[in-house]
Amino acid sequence: MDPIHVPGPPKEAFNKNRRVSDLIRAQVNHLKHIESKLPPNLFQGIPQHPIVTEDDAARYIAPMTRMLRARAAAAPQAATPSAGPTLVPPAAPPAPSTTSSARGLQLAASASNGKSASRRKGPATKSATSKPSPSTPKGKKR
């Protein structure tokens, strides 16, 4: 069976100045709820710009997510919910890194800029020890 080609979006599909949807607005509001409970030493690192566009939201969500994930690294024993047994961190998978997301950005769902997905440069091409699978669609940053 021949590989099925999946076309990507054109470059002009990207619009970080698009106004946030109700969904992103809700996500930001929930993070604001968390932020309101932060101790002053953590609060100081959180940007306070108005959030109108998707780019605005992303620039706020990223440091909040980093802060929440850093709490996991600092306190690997997770909170214990009242309704169940004591939790322990998942054992088998590698510990996620707060710096690895940047590599993940390269892999999927970026605008094709008119090029075939299979020709796009993925993160593995940046590695000296691995090559991307030729049948795995790779996004690329622009």
DSSP code for 19? B
d(CA 29, CA 57): 10
From the list 116, 127, 126, the residue with the least C-alpha distance to 136 is: 116
Which residue number, 43 or 97, has a Cβ lying nearer to other proteins?
97
Report in angstroms how near the CB of residue 100 gets to other proteins at its nearest.
Answer: 5
- Cα angle, residue 97 at apex, residues 32 and 136 outer, rounded to 5°: 105
Report in angstroms how near the CB of residue 91 gets to other proteins at its nearest.
Answer: 6
Report in angstroms how near the CB of residue 40 gets to other proteins at its nearest.
Answer: 18
The per-residue b/e assignment along 7-20, b for 16 or more CB within 10 angstroms, e otherwise, is ebeeeeeeeeeeeb
Which residue number, 40 or 142, has a Cβ lying nearer to other proteins?
142
Which residue number, 46 or 111, has a Cβ lying nearer to other proteins?
111
Which residue number, 43 or 130, has a Cβ lying nearer to other proteins?
130
Report in angstroms how near the CB of residue 88 gets to other proteins at its nearest.
Answer: 6
Q: How far is CA 45 from the centre of its chain?
A: 19
